[in-house]
């Protein structure tokens, strides 16, 4: 079994084509960015097809081809046809209630209705299944909580079930130490969330979490009247920001790193860069975050077009 993931969207309206699936693409992009091979998103209606799909993936699929992770979205509320938690619980061998408590706690920071999601999470064979709500906000909260856990979950599943088994695929090489400390580093079109970044790097052995938000201001280089910026990125920008984060992880081997740069049109007050670093002690966390931000700004091939109240514009980052 390799590091494969499947996203299952549970929505009768999306399955009928009367509503757009907004959560599937977000989850697919996120899991791909985490280094997983992600199947095309499955969109199914609420009801018995939920359990049928889960059993197909975890029982009827040949063992070597079963996914490591199944992430569902939708069907976790109190409507009469919301049966995703019940269907999931029936196929699980062991539940992981702590994961759901983490999701509820994180969501409660933003909305009281987060606790209305009845999702479950747990293990069946060497597959981990987790239910997320059907909203974009609930999905993004779930991503923030799960992101620092995926590698740990995968390693535990290998340890529990991997002894003495003959594998149909070659064993995966252990990641370099720096890679395991870089939790996330990418360029995105999506709005940035500092809370997500800081939650992702938080860990029991880290006593300091340092975050940086690069926010669009209304002036630049002595000139006022900036109304917004449009960021453009070279195709290699994703690769470079990851390389930069890996370098910092080598220089500061005890830190956990998360970084994301936004591109596209941004208004004054929007965040263009979010970086978060966690460490056992504050001095190392501050130093690593400072070095990370400086190097991203110096190395990642991203340019910005600034617009002003008088209708003019200027380009920044094109020199050299």
Tell whether 146 and 13 lie within a shared domain. yes
Q: What is the DSSP letter of 17?
A: T
Tell whether 82 and 225 lie within a shared domain. no
> Can you list the alpha helix ranges (DSSP code H) found in the chain?
12-16, 23-33, 49-55, 84-91, 97-108, 136-146, 150-161, 177-181, 194-201, 237-251, 282-299
Q: 149: closest CA among 203, 95, 71?
A: 203
Instruction: Please answer whether residues 99 and 128 qualify as being in contact, where contact means their C-beta atoms are separated by less than 8 angstroms.
Output: no
Tell whether 155 and 189 lie within a shared domain. no
Tell whether 143 and 24 lie within a shared domain. yes
Q: What is the DSSP letter of 48?
A: T
Other CB atoms within a 10 A radius of the CB of residue 54 amount to: 23
Tell whether 181 and 281 lie within a shared domain. yes
Q: Pick the last residue of a domain from 135, 161, 187.
A: 161
* Local structure of 158: helix, strand or coil: helix
Other CB atoms within a 10 A radius of the CB of residue 78 amount to: 8
Tell whether 288 and 208 lie within a shared domain. yes
Domain residue limits at 188 = 177-316
Phi, psi dihedrals of residue 130, rounded to the nearest 5°: -140, 135
186 found inside a domain: yes
Tally of domains within the chain: 2
Q: How far apart are the first and last CA of the chain?
A: 47
Whole-number pLDDT of residue 220: 80
**Cα–Cα distance between 219 and 43 in angstroms, integer?**
46
Tell whether 153 and 32 lie within a shared domain. yes
Q: Pick the last residue of a domain from 127, 161, 195.
A: 161
Whole-number pLDDT of residue 107: 87
Other CB atoms within a 10 A radius of the CB of residue 206 amount to: 17
CATH code, domain carrying 271: 3.90.1170.40
275 found inside a domain: yes
Q: 186: closest CA among 30, 82, 54?
A: 30
* Local structure of 51: helix, strand or coil: helix
167 found inside a domain: no
Tell whether 139 and 185 lie within a shared domain. no
* Local structure of 30: helix, strand or coil: helix
170 found inside a domain: no
172 found inside a domain: no
Low-confidence residues in the chain, pLDDT < 70: 1-2, 159-180, 317-320
Whole-number pLDDT of residue 174: 38
Q: Pick the last residue of a domain from 161, 190, 222.
A: 161
Q: How many CA atoms lie within 13 A of 77 on its CB side?
A: 13
Tell whether 80 and 123 lie within a shared domain. yes
Q: 71: closest CA among 110, 105, 34, 107?
A: 34
Whole-number pLDDT of residue 89: 97
List, in sequence order, every residue forming a beta bridge with 231; answer none if it has no partner: 264, 304
Tell whether 156 and 207 lie within a shared domain. no
CATH code, domain carrying 63: 3.40.980.10
171 found inside a domain: no
Tell whether 10 and 141 lie within a shared domain. yes
12 found inside a domain: yes
259 found inside a domain: yes
Whole-number pLDDT of residue 110: 83
Tell whether 207 and 294 lie within a shared domain. yes
Strands 256-262 and 182-188: parallel
**Per-residue pLDDT tens over the stretch 150-207:** 988 988 887 644 443 433 333 344 344 445 589 999 999 999 999 999 999 998 889 9
Kindly write down the DSSP assignment for every residue of 194-250, as one continuous string.
HHHHHHHH--TT--EEEEEEEE--SEETTEE-EEEEEEEE-TTHHHHHHHHHHHHHH
């Amino acid at each position: 079994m390799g590091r494969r993931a499947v996203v299952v969207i549970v929505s009768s309206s999306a399955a009928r084509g009367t509503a757009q699936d907004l959560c599937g693409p977000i989850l697919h992009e996120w899991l791909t960015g985490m280094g997983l091979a992600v199947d095309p998103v499955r969109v199914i209606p609420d009801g018995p097809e939920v359990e049928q799909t889960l059993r197909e993936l975890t029982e009827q699929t040949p063992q070597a081809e079963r996914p490591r992770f199944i992430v569902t979205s939708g069907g976790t509320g109190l409507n009469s046809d919301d049966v995703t938690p019940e269907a999931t619980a029936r196929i699980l061998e062991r539940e992981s209630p702590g994961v759901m408590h983490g999701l509820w706690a994180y969501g409660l920071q933003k909305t009281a209705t987060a606790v209305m999601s009845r999702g479950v999470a747990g293990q069946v064979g060497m597959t981990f299944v987790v239910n997320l709500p059907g909203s974009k906000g609930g999905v993004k909260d779930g991503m923030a909580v799960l992101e620092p856990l995926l590698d740990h979950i995968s390693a535990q599943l290998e340890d529990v079930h991997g002894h003495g088994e003959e594998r149909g695929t070659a064993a995966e090489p252990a990641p370099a130490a720096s890679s395991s400390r870089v939790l996330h580093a990418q360029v995105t079109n999506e709005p940035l969330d500092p809370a997500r970044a800081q939650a992702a790097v938080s860990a029991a052995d880290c006593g300091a979490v340092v975050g940086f938000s690069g926010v669009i201001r209304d002036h630049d280089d002595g000139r006022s009247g900036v109304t917004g910026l449009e960021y453009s990125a070279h195709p290699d920008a994703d690769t470079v920001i990851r390389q930069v984060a890996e370098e910092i992880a080598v220089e500061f081997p005890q830190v956990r790193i998360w970084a994301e740069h936004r591109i596209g049109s941004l208004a004054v007050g929007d965040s263009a860069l979010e970086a978060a670093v966690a460490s056992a002690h504050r001095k190392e966390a501050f130093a690593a975050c400072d070095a990370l931000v400086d190097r991203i700004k110096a190395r990642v091939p991203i340019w910005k077009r600034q617009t002003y109240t008088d209708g003019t514009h200027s380009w920044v980052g094109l020199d050299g």
